[in-house]
Structure 1
Amino acid sequence: MSVLHVVFRVGTAEYVLPAADVVQMESFSGATPVPGSPAYVAGLVQVRGRVLPVIDARARFGLPPAERNLDTRVVVGQVAAPGGGLRTVGLIVDAAREVVKLDPEQLRPPPPLVAEQARGFVKAVAQVGGVGQGSAGAGGSGRLLLLIDLNKVVGEEQVHAE
């Protein structure tokens, strides 16, 4: 059975999260820094009356900063909270405009080297044939979509701001 996934871009790579884990997507206009937080925590934002911690995906993934523009989005999702329950957080991404259906058999474990280098952020890789832009690499057709583990991306140093 196909599952809807939200596609977003960070740098030149495309990532996905299950749509069921995404609460909403918002434009990004800036964050209020939080003293003492890890460098990848951009700060706090207000989204529809709620104050949320936001993670800078570029910083978290070890990419250089890029100028924010009208395509920059905050993907608002749910992660496991310390002590149980769910916590709502935002992930700042370069662009997010698409939803795709992925069948479970399209999701493959990442190659061992990728799994090691990505610090557990990448749970699976899907190859999607020839739709849209991007390429699967040398001689390949289609796109590679990396399924991320939002709990690991957010990290155990979550900002407690709710």
Structure 2
Amino acid sequence: MSVLHVVFKVDGAEYVLPASEVLQMESFTGATPVPGAPAHVAGLVQVRGRVIPVVDARTRFGLPPVERSLDSRVVVGRLGERTVGLLVDSAREVLKLDPGQFKPPPPLVMEGAQGFVKAVAQVGPRLVMLIDFPRVIGEETSDGDGKR
């Protein structure tokens, strides 16, 4: 059974998240910095009357910053009770992917991506990477109890 996935780009690479985890996509017009926040937190933005934290995917993935453009998007996702935005270079596509298309990432990717990439799928000539949203936005539990 195919599942809809939202496709977004960071530094030319294509990543996907199940559409069920994405609430909406918003243009990025800037964020209010939060004093003392980790470097990968771009700040706070207001989305439909709610204030949410935004994680900069480039910083989180260890990539150099770029000038934000009209293509920059905040992919707003839900994590349990929390709503968090992920700032990406662009996001404007939805793909239907079969769970069977996803394969474990190669070991080199696993090491380099710090566990941010859960799986990869071949879509014609393209490779898309399924991200571990909780880990990317810094919500993984460190005490190993497996809670998500």
What's the TM-score bracket when you normalise by the shorter of the two chains? Answer: over 0.9
Residue in 1 that maps onto 2:16: 16
How far apart are residue 30 of structure 1 and its match?
A: 0.2
Mapping 1:6-155, distance limit 5 Å: 6-79=6-79, 85-129=80-124, 142-155=125-138
Counting matched residue pairs gives: 140
Residue identity over aligned pairs, in percent, reads: 76
How far apart are residue 40 of structure 1 and its match?
A: 0.5
Query: What stretches of structure 1 move > 6 A for 4+ residues in a row?
Result: none
CA distance in 1, matches of 2:64, 2:110: 21
How far apart are residue 156 of structure 1 and its match?
A: 3.5
CA distance in 2, matches of 1:118, 1:14: 14
TM-score, normalisation: structure 2: 0.92
Paired letter, 1:145: V
CA distance in 1, matches of 2:90, 2:77: 15
Q: Give the match's secondary structure for 1:67.
A: coil
Paired letter, 1:107: F
CA distance in 2, matches of 1:108, 1:120: 14
Q: Which entry has the higher C-alpha Rg, 1 or 2?
A: 1
Question: CA offsets, 1:97-154, max 9 Å, x none?
Answer: 000000111000001121111111000000001xxxxxxxxxxxx1000000110001
CA distance in 1, matches of 2:104, 2:82: 27
How far apart are residue 77 of structure 1 and its match?
A: 0.1
Unmatched runs of 5 consecutive residues or more in structure 2 = 141-148
Q: Give the match's secondary structure for 2:37.
A: coil
Unmatched runs of 5 consecutive residues or more in structure 1 = 80-84, 130-141, 158-162
CA distance in 2, matches of 1:11, 1:112: 21
How far apart are residue 86 of structure 1 and its match?
A: 2.4
CA distance in 2, matches of 1:52, 1:107: 30
